[in-house]
């Protein structure tokens, strides 16, 4: 992958925390907790991890379904979302720091270390710094909220297809109305144009123009997913986020939907973020793969590299679950379980995502970096 290009999508330190419960039972679920990745034009980027690791929340945060807690999202180099948490924290920090420094200065005056005049000048500077920081942070917090509304055009360029084609299609709307919704939101009023676009896109996804009069329940699971794909593509997005698009489908239908997505990717020059819990699904479909565990990316590499040189024990555990079409291998295949305690992380030995070789990143503590380097083939 040519990393000198500008990424089409850049996700920077993305955090999405949810407050759940109330009172003493209130707790913060860190569904996504500091995720970084870039996707380049025309690339298919696989995001993999077990249920609950935050894959869906990552996708939903990118398409602006939530106000992100922290971090930034860039589309074609333009910031389309930013979280306010850093700025909220900065305000609290600057307030606490000013208070602490002023108390310190007053103590120095009492003990005659500095004069009252010297203290007054320094206190004035501290207060000025506090005012400036708070004003900047308040501006950024306002901008975070505004960005989400301002960038509607950008969000049209990213569309998502969902895991469950039954739940994601309104049962009371005809196929035409479902697919036309995005066109209407974008201001298209001409019924003939709408009908033509809906009919054309139905053909593109392998359905028939006359299917537009029907309701979702009249279709099979695979066909419903095709309707979901048509709805996403009708407004010409550049990026498609496919959130486990085949996991709710019969095995016999899965390959058809994967092939359809592959064809459409070529035809429309799409960039795809493909979310799945199963590495075998993304293997043949992705250029690069990121493995996610509990809200963080633990390994990221070209698809072939990840399969040849998996380093993180969690990636290895996911790989051990991938079946191979070799009966001898299958008879001996053992599912490796992952126990996060094996890392023995402590205060001095904390992990971060490091580039262990060009394009191959792994979450590793300083001790693990050496071990992983030895393991590399
Ligand atoms: N709106 C929400 N409010 C509170 N917690 C949430 C919310 N959405 C997701 N979560 C929690 O965040 C974590 C990540 O969920 P997410 O759906 O992103 O995971 P996932 O990897 O996509 O799982 P799956 O494969 O089952 O869809 C889970 O613990 C989930 O319960």
Instruction: Give 49-108 pLDDT, tens digit per residue.
Output: 999 999 999 999 998 888 899 999 999 998 988 998 889 999 999 999 999 999 999 999
The phi and psi torsions of 256 (rounded to 5 degrees) equal: -60, -45
* Among protein residues, the one whose CA lies closest to atom 18 of ligand 1: 54
Q: Which residue has the higher pLDDT, 248 or 74?
A: 74
User: What are residue 53's DSSP bridge partners?
Assistant: none
Listed in sequence order, the DSSP H helices in the chain are 55-62, 85-110, 116-150, 152-156, 175-185, 191-204, 221-233, 251-268, 279-283, 303-308, 313-319, 327-332, 366-375
Give Cβ neighbours of residue 13 (< 8 Å, ≥ 6 apart): 34, 35, 36, 70, 71, 72
275 CA → ligand 1 middle, Å: 13
Q: Which residue has the higher pLDDT, 67 or 264?
A: 264
The mean pLDDT of the chain is: 91
Q: Which of 30, 31, 69, 246 to mutate to test ligand 1, by most ligand atoms within 8 A of the CB atom?
A: 31
pLDDT at 154 over 90: no
* Among protein residues, the one whose CA lies closest to atom 13 of ligand 1: 31
41 CA → ligand 1 middle, Å: 28
31 CA → ligand 1 middle, Å: 6
Q: Which of 18, 35, 161, 167 to mutate to test ligand 1, by most ligand atoms within 8 A of the CB atom?
A: 18
Contact between residue 48 and residue 291 where contact means Cβ atoms under 8 Å apart: yes
Cα separation, 174 vs 58, whole angstroms? 30
Please name the residue that has the structure tokens 């058809």. 256
Q: Which of 203, 192, 248 is nearest to 229 (CA)?
A: 203
**Largest Cα span, the chain:** 89
Residues within a 6 A CB radius of ligand 1: 18, 20, 29, 31, 49, 51-57, 277
* Among protein residues, the one whose CA lies closest to atom 22 of ligand 1: 56
Q: Which of 85, 11, 34 is nearest to 241 (CA)?
A: 11
Model confidence at 293, pLDDT cuts 50, 70, 90, reads: very high
1-5, 32-36, 251-255, 331-335: least confidently modelled range: 1-5
Model confidence at 232, pLDDT cuts 50, 70, 90, reads: very high
Model confidence at 4, pLDDT cuts 50, 70, 90, reads: low
Ligand 1 atom nearest 163 alpha carbon: 27
Model confidence at 207, pLDDT cuts 50, 70, 90, reads: very high
Collapsed DSSP state (helix, strand, coil) of residue 23: helix
How high is the pLDDT of residue 377?
65
pLDDT at 5 over 80: no
- Counting residues of the chain whose pLDDT is more than 70, the rounded percentage is 98
* Among protein residues, the one whose CA lies closest to atom 29 of ligand 1: 52
Contact between residue 250 and residue 221 where contact means Cβ atoms under 8 Å apart: yes
Collapsed DSSP state (helix, strand, coil) of residue 29: strand
What letter does residue 314 receive in the DSSP assignment?
H
pTM over 0.80: yes
Q: Which residue has the higher pLDDT, 256 or 154?
A: 256
Q: Which residue has the higher pLDDT, 111 or 154?
A: 111
| Mean pLDDT in residue range 192-205 | 97
| CA distances (Å), origin 252, targets 136, 156, 249, 286 | 56, 32, 8, 21
Q: Which two tokens stand for residue 279?
A: 């590495």
Cα separation, 299 vs 315, whole angstroms? 7
Cα separation, 50 vs 250, whole angstroms? 20
ipTM of the prediction:
0.95
105 CA → ligand 1 middle, Å: 48
């Amino acid at each position: 992958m040519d990393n000198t290009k500008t990424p089409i999508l850049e996700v920077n330190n993305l955090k999405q925390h949810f407050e759940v419960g109330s009172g003493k039972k209130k707790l913060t679920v860190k569904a996504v907790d500091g995720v970084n990745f870039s996707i380049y034009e025309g690339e298919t980027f696989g995001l993999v991890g077990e249920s609950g690791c935050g894959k869906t929340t990552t996708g939903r945060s990118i398409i602006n379904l939530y106000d992100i807690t922290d971090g930034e999202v860039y589309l074609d180099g333009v910031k389309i979302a930013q979280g306010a948490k850093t700025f909220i924290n900065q305000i609290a920090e600057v307030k606490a720091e000013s208070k602490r420094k002023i108390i310190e200065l007053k103590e120095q005056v009492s003990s005659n270390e500095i004069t009252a005049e010297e203290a007054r000048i320094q206190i004035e500077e501290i207060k000025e710094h506090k005012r400036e920081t708070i004003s900047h942070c308040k501006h950024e917090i306002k901008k975070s909220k505004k960005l989400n509304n301002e960038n509607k055009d950008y969000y049209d360029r990213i569309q998502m297809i969902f895991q469950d084609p039954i739940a994601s299609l309104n049962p009371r709307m005809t196929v035409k109305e479902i697919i036309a919704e995005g066109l209407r939101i974008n201001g298209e009023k001409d019924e003939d144009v709408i009908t033509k676009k809906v009919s054309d896109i139905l053909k593109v996804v392998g359905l028939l123009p006359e299917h537009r009069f029907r309701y979702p329940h009249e279709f099979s699971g695979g066909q419903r997913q095709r309707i979901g794909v048509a709805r996403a593509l009708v407004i010409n997005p550049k990026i498609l986020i496919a959130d486990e698009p085949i996991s709710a489908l019969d095995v016999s239908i899965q390959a058809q939907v994967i092939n359809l997505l592959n064809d459409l990717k070529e035809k429309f020059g799409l960039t795809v973020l493909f979310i799945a819990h199963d590495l075998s699904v993304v293997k043949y479909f992705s250029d690069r793969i990121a493995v996610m565990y509990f809200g963080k990316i633990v390994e990221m590499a070209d698809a072939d590299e990840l399969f040849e040189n998996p380093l993180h024990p969690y990636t290895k555990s996911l790989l051990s679950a991938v079946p191979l079409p070799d009966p001898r291998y299958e008879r001996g295949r053992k599912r490796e379980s992952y126990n996060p305690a094996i890392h023995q992380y402590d205060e001095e030995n904390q992990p971060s995502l490091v580039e262990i070789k060009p394009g191959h990143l792994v979450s590793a503590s300083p001790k693990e970096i050496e071990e992983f380097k030895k393991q590399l083939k």
